[in-house]
Amino acid sequence: QEQPVESGGGLVQAGGSLKLSCAASGRTFGSYAMGWFRQAPDEEREFVASVSRSGAGVVYADSVNGRFTIFRDNPKNTVYLQMNSLKPEDTAVYYCAVGNSIYASRLPGSYAYWGQGTQVTVSS
């Protein structure tokens, strides 16, 4: 229905790169901010990155700032997370989420729909 769908996860060595994709319906994608969160085993889900509806506003977690880039392609109803210089501590299930406003946000409560997640594993 309105649930976004992630893809692009996998196994990569430290220092490598991955690009995650998240596709959503045209109605929801074009109207709201989008975000990425991640969750490692036995840990709380944490914010990774968010982009505003227009793509002009972006927010990053300190742990990924400078290494990850979030961007969106509105005609394709897709948001991406380009992950470079990956570290073992980046290993987690990554979730895409559709916002409930037009603004980028670090807060889980700012998102209405969540994907099933895609596994990213970074080996040493």
DSSP letter string, 75-93: GGTEEEEEE-S--GGG-EE
Decide if 77 contacts 23 (C-beta within 8 A).
Answer: yes
Under the banding of pLDDT at 50, 70 and 90, the label for residue 1 is low
Share of the chain above pLDDT 90, in %: 90
Instruction: Compute φ and ψ for 42, nearest 5 degrees.
Output: 65, 20
Query: What are the pLDDT digits (tens) for 39-77?
Result: 999 999 999 999 999 999 999 999 999 999 999 998 999
Decide if 94 contacts 9 (C-beta within 8 A).
Answer: yes
